Amino acid sequence: MLDTIEGIHHITSMAKDAAGTDNFATRVLGLRRVKKTVNFDAPDVYHLYYANGIGQPGTVLTYFPFPNIVRGTRGAGEVGTTVFSVPEGSLDFWEKHLNAKAVSGLRRASRFDEERLYFDGADGDGFALVEVAEDARQPWTGAGVPAEHAIRGFHSASLTLNDSGGTSALLELMGFKNAMEEGNLRRMVRAGGNGADIIDLETDRMAGAARQGAGSVHHIAFAVPDSTAQLAVREALVKERFSVTPVIDRDYFLSIYFRAPGGVLFEIATDDPGFARDEDVEHLGEALKLPRQHAHLRPLLESQLPRIGE
């Protein structure tokens, strides 16, 4: 069992409209945009990062907004629901707030004796809020959501799978333990993690395969403190015969990627160097930051990328 994985680092989704996505993340969810950059492989498309005030691992929601993308189809082999942590007594506030913002899909339900509020994202993304006592992560309050109700970071992610056995075994290797089961749900928990340390596996043997598109989670990233820990994780995964990419420098963290047995794309990302490596903390997410290989495209990109946050 690996003991260096701390929990979720970030979750990255596909979107259609950059401005609408930015509005939803900042003005509806009340998150801070901590980085405005571009997709490494498609520099004419943004890569937008939203989190708490410092971009702490375990709080980071990111998007690739492709303007011509079709809507995704829900199914097996994907992260079906991204779940945020909010303080105790906050669900009533959020239900009123989301209703006032005309957010669709609002419903309350219970899972593992936790009441949660489900809702849809800008492209039909699956989200939920869960009340958590004494979550020490500091919220961002610059978007008008009061501190006593603001999102603290991720609580968990729920994976939809035709067969959860292989993914469960993988998560055990990654330091998660089977905590409880309820019907077709299995909860895996990383004890002593970073607060974003719960993965729920939902087995649906009849579900068709998910089709990626707007509203789909592209990948889920798990956090390790540094490159030494990441290389140890990579070595362990290779020994288990996972096909793992070489280390890739993503400017704000180092990444490796591999496909979990149920089809979900996993990433292992380092906590360092973080989002303040090229911007002061006071000004995170304000300027367009470009990877070195795309720096020569700045005049073109600044003229063609849609304006956001106005």
Q: What's the pLDDT at 144?
A: 83
Per the listing, tokens 């006592």 go with: 133
Asked if residue 46 has pLDDT above 70, the reply is: yes
Asked if residue 288 has pLDDT above 90, the reply is: yes
Q: What's the pLDDT at 309?
A: 81
Question: Burial, 228: exposed, middle or buried (Cβ in 10 Å; 0-12, 13-18, 19+)?
Answer: exposed
Model confidence at 310, in pLDDT bands (50, 70, 90)?
A: low
Model confidence at 203, in pLDDT bands (50, 70, 90)?
A: very high
Distance CA 200, CA 190 (A): 12
Q: pTM for the complete prediction?
A: 0.97
